[in-house]
Structure 1
């Protein structure tokens, strides 16, 4: 591959998907080795079956020039490979080694619910959403299981506005869009070491004892970047992964007993000599994954937490420690431990830079500060001043219209995702109550007693 050999084995990295009104899905990428030809049968690694290349084109700028074949070193556009997506490797051999997956630094922080205005557009609408999620890897598409609404999660209000515009203008589907919703994160501010929380199974025959603690920021950042991978950790891989955690200052012996990684959270088995525990390993991980998706405070995703299983008491008969018994017990134990470790909410923030003439910059600073923004710098260059700082995503809705009104349309601004910060304690109660009301949960936040039984 380093030699870019046109006669070598095919190795093609897809970097972009776009929709062509005539050709349908077009997969674009660079060929690092080999040659791809019209009519060849190829594998998109990770797909269930091989697919036939219907059309091969050479990319020249923004133009596609149809050719019989394209060799290594060139940018190629393919049609017919419907299982291709950004980051997928295309080869002729199903067992080839894929390229490292493309990871996005930013996470979706704003969600809207969309549905077609006309029910006759529903099949077309579902297909269009699938295509949009493939074309834009930073867009997440899911379904609300209770209402059946399609949920679009993106980088911000503007990102979702553009996505809706593409649905309506490019696909010709008129849609109804809900008010934007901010996706918060749950975490903890301390630990419950030495005060493990007991989770009991419904039949009272199984008990799990959990302790939780916040992960250091550098470990959380490494998890977010995918340094340690994601998902259940195989026993043969646990030692190597534990050693990598130790390089960041974690306890090597403890991290070698890692069970699973979910996003920026880890689960570790810190027990000794528990009989039959290995038989419930997958069920324990499933309970952990459930809590990572829905935390105890407002059912928002969990972030930056290490969960330690410190003890367990299991029924000797396997029929009494099945999924219906183990998963709820582990789930309750983790949620109770999180509350005992003082749950907190993190909110997404964004960096902002606004450039405007000197005579209207006062209106800019007023708009930023009234939205809980923090101004970090205000450089002046001639007749133009800049406001540089950060602002919570939750306060950014409608910002574009307000900033235009405050500057008579003379301001230019841009935003960039800046991760998550602690929600001010004064807002914790109101924000939590608002989220719980929106999700149809009870108004009062559950206490430890809620997860005891």
Structure 2
């Protein structure tokens, strides 16, 4: 039985078989001892991420989901020319996501939009090999080099209120950066859309300096309704606002999922709806009005974003390297060559080894450890995990800066064309 607390939906399913992982294979077993990862067949139609329990037990025993401390920050684009290969790929990617919850994907109708994302270079190599092995008999599949995910954020308040007007509606909005720690608290699940409004308002007021009444005016989080961006209603006595609320929220979700710089997710931004003028004849159920409102919401968000000193955030690894003392100089040199930063160095008691901890930009990490092992004759042991998003302190709107070059390069790869200006969105 699957119970989704968010929508109070109960679904029943029958477990057909239980499996346990043995290397790369799944073995059917009758019972599973504690400490193992279990695969249950037959519950595919259940709610992903919901509570699962047995309906035959008088005292229900909850099977709890695993908590992950990693984030998919690398992806590879996948292309194929034959439709039968694509169909096979889609099915295999769906199965891969069932087996590995850390795999993300985009299953668009357009073949060029197909990609998988993972937590690291080795993770993606394993996923890519799995896909290639399963479609090799049908046709050719090609994949790109790993691409790093960035985040689009802002540094200051919008210089002025952005405004977008059409025949039926006018929306006015400002963007501002969240206070330090709030976006991470949302990412970590401490604050979210399903919290009690009073409790959430109290946390926002006491820890992040929000006005308590303003905190109650949060319309939604995004993208995906849970992301680290917030839409707040600051309108006063606007008629017919309830009519368009759901459509404004929909536009917010789309805009926060694909920012205006180069289509990456937004991060750590609070959008304030300052004012709205709505035609009393507007029908939110009419497709034309729906499209108009959603489109205007995206435009006014993009304009507000560009008016708020845009910045790029890049993912950073926390790296741990264990090596003998004779290789420490090589390790330090390799880290600094890749714009990394050493945090600490500590000798392991009663051993000839040292532990080095450092921050390393993910975009500079591709091939880093392979090269480092070669330079140290394979005498190092390393681990890395996503730690935080770091600001790239250069103007992403200036094509001559480091951030600007990344934006131009990525837009070209995605076929996005020339970047729009604030005036293009507000016209």
The TM-score, its normalising length taken from structure 2, stands at: 0.82
Single out whichever of 146-155 and 274-283 deviates more from structure 2: 146-155
Aligned mate of 2:152, from 186, 208, 214: 186
1 or 2, which has the higher strand percentage? Answer: 1
CA contact (8 A) 2:345 2:356 kept: yes
1:219-269 alpha-carbon deviations (Å, 9 max, x no partner): 2122112233348x9xxx645543342232311111111111110011111
Question: Partner of 2:255: helix, strand, or coil?
Answer: helix
- Among 309, 323, 334, the residue aligned to 1:356: 323
Q: Residues 272-291 of structure 1: matches in 2 within 5 Å?
A: 272-291=236-255
Pair 1:240–1:437, CA change in 2 (3 A): same
Query: Is residue 264–residue 305 contact of structure 1 (8 Å, CA) maintained in 2?
Result: yes
Structure 1 residues 25-44: aligned runs within 5 Å: 42-43=1-2
| 1:81 matched residue in structure 2 | 43
Q: Is the 8 A contact 2:229 2:267 kept in 1?
A: yes
Structure 1 residues 238, 313: closer, same or farther in 2, change over 3 A? Answer: farther
Aligned pairs for 1:31-430 (under 5 A) are 42-43=1-2, 50-55=12-17, 65-66=29-30, 78-83=40-45, 87-91=49-53, 104-115=68-79, 120-144=84-108, 146-168=110-132, 175-192=141-158, 195-201=160-166, 203=167, 205-230=168-193, 238-248=197-207, 249-262=209-222, 263-319=227-283, 322-381=289-348, 383-425=352-394, 426-430=401-405
Tell me which residue corresponds to 1:11: none
Deviation at 1:385, TM superposition (A): 3.8
Output the CA distance in 2 between the equivalents of 1:89 and 1:304.
30
CA distance in structure 2 between the aligned counterparts of 1:442 and 1:121, rounded to whole angstroms? 30
Q: 1:144 to 1:156 in 2, by over 3 A?
A: farther
> Quick one: structure 1 residues 395 and 58, their matched pair in 2 at CA, closer, same or farther if it must change by over 3 Å?
closer
- Paired residue for 1:436, among 408, 411, 423? 411
Q: Structure 1 56/276 Cα, relative in aligned 2: closer, same or farther at 3 Å?
A: same
CA contact 2:85–2:135 (8 Å) conserved in 1: no
Rounded to whole Å, the distance in 1 between the matches of 2:104 and 2:157 is 32
TM-score, scaled relative to structure 1: 0.78
- Superposition deviation, residue 101 in structure 1: 6.3
Higher RCO (CA 8 Å, separation ≥ 6 residues): 2
TM superposition shift of 1:98 = 8.0
Is the Cα–Cα contact under 8 Å of residues 79 and 112 in structure 2 kept in the other structure? no
Q: Give the gaps of 5 or more residues in structure 1.
A: 1-41
